[in-house]
Amino acid sequence: AVLVLLWLKFGLERLSGRMSELDQAVLVLVGNPREVAKVAAQTLFSIAEKIIHKPQEDKYRRIKQSNGAVKRKVTDVAGGSACLRALGFREVEHEGEMVWYAAPEAGVLDKLVDGKARLAVELDRLYDTAIDTEKSQKANGPGGIEGMIVQALQDPLSMQRLLQNPMVSQMARANPEMVESAAAHPTVQQTLQANPEMRQQVEQLIGRPLSLASAPPGPAAAPSAAATAIGGAQQRFGAQLQQLREMGFYDEAACLRALEASGGDVEVA
C-alpha cells in the first residue's frame, strides 16, 4: 500500500511538472538499460539503508570518489551522481582525497529516508514485482505498515518505539491519511482520548489535528474506583515504574496499563 501511494505521488508530481530533485534524478537513472538501472538503484538503496540503520558509523557516510565499485555501479551511470546529491551527499575533500559525504544532520536523514522509500518503488518495478491486492491486504494487516501503526497507536510505549524508527515515522509523515485511517480504529480512539499527550505527538507527526469521536460520560463513581486501582498498581509496580522513567517514559497511567497487561515485565511492556 505504501509503495502504491508513493508511486501515485510520483506520477501526479510528474504530470503537474512539480518533480523533486530526487524524482528528477531517479527518472534519469531508470532511463539507463534495465540491468544497469537495477544495479545502480540497488546500490543507492543499500547506501541509504546502511546510514539509516547505523547513523553513528561514520564510515558509511563517507564514500571515496575513487571507489571503483561505486564508480562502475553508480557515479559513471547517468543519473547516479544526481541521486547521491538528492540523498544528501556533498562532494568534499577528506584527507587529501575527494569523497561523497552525508553529514549527520536531520535534514540529510530525511533525504535518506525519503530516498530509500523512493528507490524501493523503482526496484519493485525494475524487478517486475507485482503490486497486487494481496500485498495491499498484507500491508494493512497485523504485519503490515498500517497494522503496525494501529498497534502502536494503542499503547504509548509502542508509539515511542514507532517514533524512534526513522523509516516508519517518515512514511507516516508522507502519508497522513494512513495514520488517520489507523486512528479511526475504535480501540485507538479510546487510547488517544485517554492520552492527550500521545494524541498531540500523533498530530505533530502528521502536521494536522485528528478527528476523534466524543467519549461518553462515565458514571460519577468511576473516578474514585479508578483512583483506587491506580494507587494499588503504583504500589505493586513501583520498581518497574522507576525503570520506565529512567528509559524516558513519563506517562505514569500509560505505563501502569502496559505493566498490567504484561504482568509487570518491563521488557514486554
Residue 215 has what DSSP assignment? P
Measure the CA angle with vertex 88, ends 48 and 179; round to 5°: 65
Q: How far is CA 85 from the centre of its chain?
A: 22
Run of H or E including 184: none
pLDDT at 141: 46
| E strand intervals along 34-95 | 62-64, 89-94
Domain 18-139, what fold? Methane Monooxygenase Hydroxylase; Chain G, domain 1 (1.20.58)
Q: What is the pLDDT along the chain (269 residues), one digit of tens a residue?
A: 444 445 545 554 444 445 688 888 898 898 889 899 999 999 999 999 999 888 888 889 999 999 999 999 999 999 999 999 999 999 999 999 999 999 988 889 999 999 998 898 888 888 764 444 444 444 444 445 566 677 777 777 777 777 776 656 666 666 677 788 878 888 888 888 888 888 888 888 777 787 766 544 444 444 445 455 556 666 777 777 777 666 766 667 767 767 776 667 666 55
| E strand intervals along the chain | 62-64, 89-94, 97-102
- Cα–Cα nearest to 159, from 184, 186, 182: 182
- Cα–Cα nearest to 231, from 214, 210, 256: 256
